[in-house]
Amino acid sequence: MVLVTKLTQLLNIKHPIIQGGMQHIGTAELASAVSNSGALGILTGLTQPTPEDLRKEIRRCRAMTDKPFGVNLTFLPAINLPPYKEYAQAIIEEGVQVVETAGNNPGEYIKMFKAANIKTIHKCVAVRHALTAQRLGVDMVSMDGFECAGHPGEDDITALILLAKSARVLDIPFVASGGIGDGRGLAAALALGAEGVNMGSRFMCTQEAPLHASIKQTMVEADERSTALVYRPFKNTARIFKNKVAIEVNLREKNPNVKFDDIAELVAGVRGKQVFTHGDSDFGVWTAGQVLGLINDIPTCDTLVNRMVQEAESIIKDRLSNMIQ
């Protein structure tokens, strides 16, 4: 048996699970392993320093899997913007079938991708953002609950409400993101109206994920209380792993006159990248979601995906259906 949803049909994948784009993590090794498991692997576009590097990574991934995979392209405000059009053109010219967009309004790029017959999924943290993405013509949205790693927005709406409301008001299909780590979460997301799930932190803790083994073990030993919210004074909230740096950032942010320059050296991206390569969990800031409370092993992607699907099928077939008498 398999779970057949609008997500599996739209993307021609076996299982309704997406590996979300993650900075420094979404490389060919992880994306291909996820796709080979029957789910959808995602390369993180801006992890590659240049559009030409992204071309090479797409080709490298294609050599490692014959299954569908996608590319994440996140549009963020910056003083020196990345060459987004060139990244988008590389995605199109390399024949990628699925793009996950995130961040600022992707309208211009959605038109480019749709003209190339590429399926688009936009990540949203609010229903109003999802309605905008729907008007822009995306094929699907990924609804990010407050539990998620990275940027959950400023509304603090948990997935239980976000998904149920999305099912009421959206005309396009959506997937659930944030707080998903096992078959129970997958079954619950489907019950709430989602067509599948998007997972980031859980896929970090797999054998194929390209980060230091000690960080994976740190995640296994953590729990749902092991995250911190930073950047709240700057209206750019991020959920990260609660380490010594996060605690110091939160301490400095208590100053009512805090400026970003007061924490800039603590949250430098180069420090976060070195966490993953060198294995010191306290060296910099790194994203992790409350799903840490559900992570207690480091399986292969294939084991994780198939275990989740089997758990979800069992819950739907043996538990929920037996409640109807």
Residue pLDDT tens, the chain, 325 long: 789 999 999 999 999 999 999 999 999 999 999 999 999 999 999 999 999 999 999 999 999 999 999 999 999 877 788 999 999 999 999 999 999 999 888 899 999 999 999 999 999 999 999 999 999 999 999 999 999 999 999 999 999 999 999 999 999 999 999 999 999 999 999 999 999 999 999 999 999 999 999 999 999 999 999 999 999 999 999 999 999 999 999 999 999 999 999 999 999 988 999 999 999 999 999 999 999 999 999 999 999 999 999 999 999 999 998 898 8
With contact defined as beta carbons under 8 Å apart, do 240 and 287 qualify? yes
pLDDT of the residue at 74? 95
Q: Which residues contact 47 (CB under 8 A, 6 or more apart)?
A: 23, 24, 25, 26, 27
Residues in the chain: 325
User: Hey, is 198 helix, strand or coil?
Assistant: strand
With contact defined as beta carbons under 8 Å apart, do 301 and 33 qualify? yes
pLDDT of the residue at 76? 83
pLDDT of the residue at 296? 97
CA angle 37, 290, 245 (to 5 degrees): 115
Q: Which residues contact 142 (CB under 8 A, 6 or more apart)?
A: 18, 20, 100, 121, 122, 123, 124, 174, 175, 176, 177, 198
Cα-based distances in Å from 275 to 20, 49, 141, 241, 287:
20, 19, 31, 11, 11
Pairing of the two strands 17-19 and 197-199: parallel
With contact defined as beta carbons under 8 Å apart, do 215 and 275 qualify? yes
Cα-based distances in Å from 115 to 109, 112, 126, 205, 252:
10, 5, 27, 36, 47
Distance CA 175, CA 154 (A): 20
User: Hey, is 70 helix, strand or coil?
Assistant: strand
